[in-house]
Structure 1
Amino acid sequence: MLKEDFKSIWQLVIAKLKEKYSTTTVDLWFANAEPVEITESKLTISVDNEFKRLIITTRYADELKGCLRDVLGFEIELEVTTPKTSFERYEDIYGIPKEPKPVEKTAARQTEYTFENFVEGSSNKLAYAACFAVAGIAGDKTYDHINDIYNPLFIYGASGLGKTHLMYSIKNHVEKNFPYVSIIYTKGEEFMNQMVEAIQTKRTTEFREKYRKADLLIIDDIQFVANKPGIQEEVFHTFNYLYEDNKQIVFTSDKPPKDINPLVERLRTRFEQSMIADIQPPDIELRMAIIKQKAANMGIHVTNEVVTYMADRLKSNVRQVEGALKKIAALSFLSGGPITLETARAAISDLLTESEPQNVISDKIFSAVSTKYGVSVAELKGTSQAAKTVNARNVCIYLFRSLTDMSLEAIGKMINRKHSTVKYSLSKVEDMITKYPAFEEEINELISDIKD
């Protein structure tokens, strides 16, 4: 195909894109994009820098391929390239070659964190977009006007919601695409320990120079400096030095700047001048997406039923999900069978907190059974073998199994009984329900009362 032909095709594709996005958006990212090669299976386009390539491939690739399909009448792959690497562009811009700066050795676990495997949703959208932008512009001086918006960047949210994942995503992306950029990633506690050691060994000048030579400084868990005035003073001066030198600064915290206490006011002011983005606990749709991706990363298959069950109950953070999936995989391996709903129940029973469904109704179950059969809660949990107490205890066990998602082990802990005893009690009640309709009605009335 002649070059003029696929340029015409590209113009039609751009026109299609403008039907889906605003002209301003399309012009911003595609104005200088050029088709360089087209085959029966792939179109290759070239954009003028790595940041644009990253934006197009992660944000617009699906729509772009859809427009190509509409124009060509068949599916085709897309490749987005840049004419030069970021490292080569540095030489072009500044006129001098720059040796890649050494970076600290990164543990294998840390290199797994990327923007590609971060699950984006409404609860983390702004934080993700801000970190994504910082990673794209950190080593590209042609984007200094955008850098002003995102520098400094302050991300906050509860533990386990993805702050550290985003920080390592920035670090890993910059290391890969901008090898000349000097990066320091540290935690608030590590910063303090290094400073204390520097004071003890009389190497404070070395300590300060290390941090002030950074092109990109990331401090995770900055809330650790609260109530440490000496450390706050050092953070303040390091912040000022780097900010005035137009270096990128990123902080994370488990709370917003206004809630970090005690904190010297001038440092709080610096934090508050940041681009501030929060990460909220994920909604159920995002939790389901996270569970599916984590399971895929671990190489285990979970059904939609199991995913929904887990997402409905594991609400606190992503680490909890990872722990549950590891336990589910282990239980499945040991049993030699597939991952079932029962496997999931057994795996997550000890992870559920008082805010989870089964514990919300536990008091109602004990209260209803106690009232119905005239047996105290202490007796239900105690050692009495009186017929009335044993019968009430069996009903209690049956209701826990029916109305909660507790495993047999968890029910046993709740009522101070062994797994085998709980199992026997369940079979006893189930047998009575089958044989005696009046007893079945009694159980149904209890269930109805508890649910009301």
Structure 2
Amino acid sequence: MSRAVKQQQSMSVKPFKILKEYQYAHTAISELLHEIDTPDPQLVYLYGPSGCGKTALMTSILPEFIELHPGLSLKLITASEFAAKFAAASTNNRIPEFQRKFRSLDLLILEDIQSLANRVQTQRELLSLLDEIMKQGGRVLISSTNPPGELLHFQKKLVNRFHGGVCALISPLKYQSRLELLTFWANFEQIHIQKKELSSIAHKKAISPRELYALLTQLQTVSHINQEPINSQFVKQYLEGNIETPKTSISKISKAVCREFKTSLQEIRSANRSQQIVIPRQCAMFLSRELTKESLAKIADYFNRKNHSTVIHAYRQIQRDLKKSPGLRQQVSRIKQRLGIYLF
């Protein structure tokens, strides 16, 4: 099995619909990925506000790319993760190995490039990497919240590489597109809600597709917990924040975290200090402190920690990471969504 197929199988892709606001970007990405020979240009730079659907759009086309190009290698990674891997390779004197892994890629998808602001060495490495990938006929897909010309503290040569590709904007969804997307998702998820109620949600405010999806599925969760139908009155009370938030517990939070991170309660309550376990454990501690009234000592005891200072450290660490990691923010939002906790 190719690395590309393994990568795709590990992705969590929710149903996606090509709306009017996505059409140009969708065409640009399709041409980049569907071309059998080396595409021209070889780079697409996708930009728009956080949550506008950049990741969903990119990953929705990947299965077709894998089918058309069996055996090719791809990697989808955030710019923050790329910077962390480069820093680790530099610290451990493993730069050549790092370069071999990335420069051999046939498709690199790098998300949230704006997070590399002021990272001079990482920008230089990325510039060299892009040149090498494209020299070998590879393809590059970049996403950002800003157009290339508004990337502050970036090397001019790197910005020029972005300008040299196709730059595609995804605009915030208008009312009709929000309604169309909500209707599509409600049908897919088999949520029993009338078009009138969907219209009320779509009219609420110009929120992102990610927030719309979270709101809709969260509405279903709260309806199920409260055993109430999703009618006009229920939707109105929910949107106004007048429905009591379902109570949760350390146990429920931990199970939701394990589901999101694909691990087990046994692991996050163990002494395992691997990064794959530390992050979900810290998230569970963070949310337990944020969403319950339990004492720090009780939270620490649940996770088999001797001192409540571990919980304080975890809380502060996740607070810091949430500011710089869009991926982690999405994961925490999905966990809250599963728990029926309001996101607005």
Structure 1 vs Structure 2: percent identity of aligned residues?
23
Q: Compute the displacement of 1:209 (Å).
A: 0.8
Query: Amino acid of the residue matched to residue 166 of structure 2?
Result: M
Does 1:167 pair with 2:62?
no
Question: Which SS does the other structure have where 1:158 is aligned?
Answer: coil
Alignment of 1:170-189 (within 5 A): 170-189=61-80
* 1:148 aligned residue (29, 40, 47): 40
1-side partners of 2:182 and 2:140: how far apart?
32
Who is 1:340 aligned against? Answer: 231
Query: Amino acid of the residue matched to residue 127 of structure 1?
Result: A
Who is 1:102 aligned against? Answer: 3
Does 1:236 pair with 2:137?
no
Q: Tell whether the 8 Å contact from 1:171 to 1:183 is kept in structure 2 after alignment.
A: no
Point out where structure 1 has 5 or more consecutive residues left out of the alignment: 1-99, 352-452
Change in Cα spacing, 1:341 to 1:162, as seen in structure 2 (3 Å) is same
Question: Which SS does the other structure have where 1:123 is aligned?
Answer: helix
1-side partners of 2:91 and 2:182: how far apart?
47
Point out where structure 2 has 5 or more consecutive residues left out of the alignment: 243-344
Question: Which SS does the other structure have where 1:196 is aligned?
Answer: helix
Q: Tell whether the 8 Å contact from 1:331 to 1:343 is kept in structure 2 after alignment.
A: no
Q: Compute the displacement of 1:304 (Å).
A: 1.1
Who is 2:222 aligned against? Answer: 331
Q: Tell whether the 8 Å contact from 2:8 to 2:63 is kept in structure 1 after alignment.
A: no
Aligned length: 242
Q: Tell whether the 8 Å contact from 1:292 to 1:302 is kept in structure 2 after alignment.
A: no
Q: Compute the displacement of 1:259 (Å).
A: 0.5
TM-score scaled by length of structure 2: 0.66
1:267-294 deviation line (CA, Å, top 9, x unaligned): 1111111100000001111100111122
Does 1:126 pair with 2:24?
yes
Who is 1:313 aligned against? Answer: 204
Alignment of 1:266-415 (within 5 A): 266-350=157-241
Query: Amino acid of the residue matched to residue 101 of structure 1?
Result: S
Who is 1:31 aligned against? Answer: none
Change in Cα spacing, 1:233 to 1:220, as seen in structure 2 (3 Å) is same
Q: Tell whether the 8 Å contact from 2:53 to 2:210 is kept in structure 1 after alignment.
A: no
1:81-129 deviation line (CA, Å, top 9, x unaligned): xxxxxxxxxxxxxxxxxxx53347448783435xxx4222222211111
Q: Tell whether the 8 Å contact from 2:75 to 2:105 is kept in structure 1 after alignment.
A: yes
Change in Cα spacing, 1:109 to 1:243, as seen in structure 2 (3 Å) is closer
Question: Which SS does the other structure have where 2:3 is aligned?
Answer: coil
Q: Tell whether the 8 Å contact from 1:171 to 1:185 is kept in structure 2 after alignment.
A: no
1:367-406 deviation line (CA, Å, top 9, x unaligned): xxxxxxxxxxxxxxxxxxxxxxxxxxxxxxxxxxxxxxxx
Does 1:136 pair with 2:34?
yes
Q: Compute the displacement of 1:265 (Å).
A: 0.7
Question: Which SS does the other structure have where 1:186 is aligned?
Answer: strand
* 1:215 aligned residue (106, 117, 137): 106
Query: How much is the aligned-residue C-alpha RMSD, in angstroms?
Result: 2.1
1-side partners of 2:123 and 2:154: how far apart?
8
Change in Cα spacing, 1:292 to 1:275, as seen in structure 2 (3 Å) is same
Who is 1:50 aligned against? Answer: none
Change in Cα spacing, 1:177 to 1:246, as seen in structure 2 (3 Å) is closer
2-side partners of 1:245 and 1:105: how far apart?
22
Question: Which SS does the other structure have where 2:240 is aligned?
Answer: helix
Question: Which SS does the other structure have where 2:81 is aligned?
Answer: helix
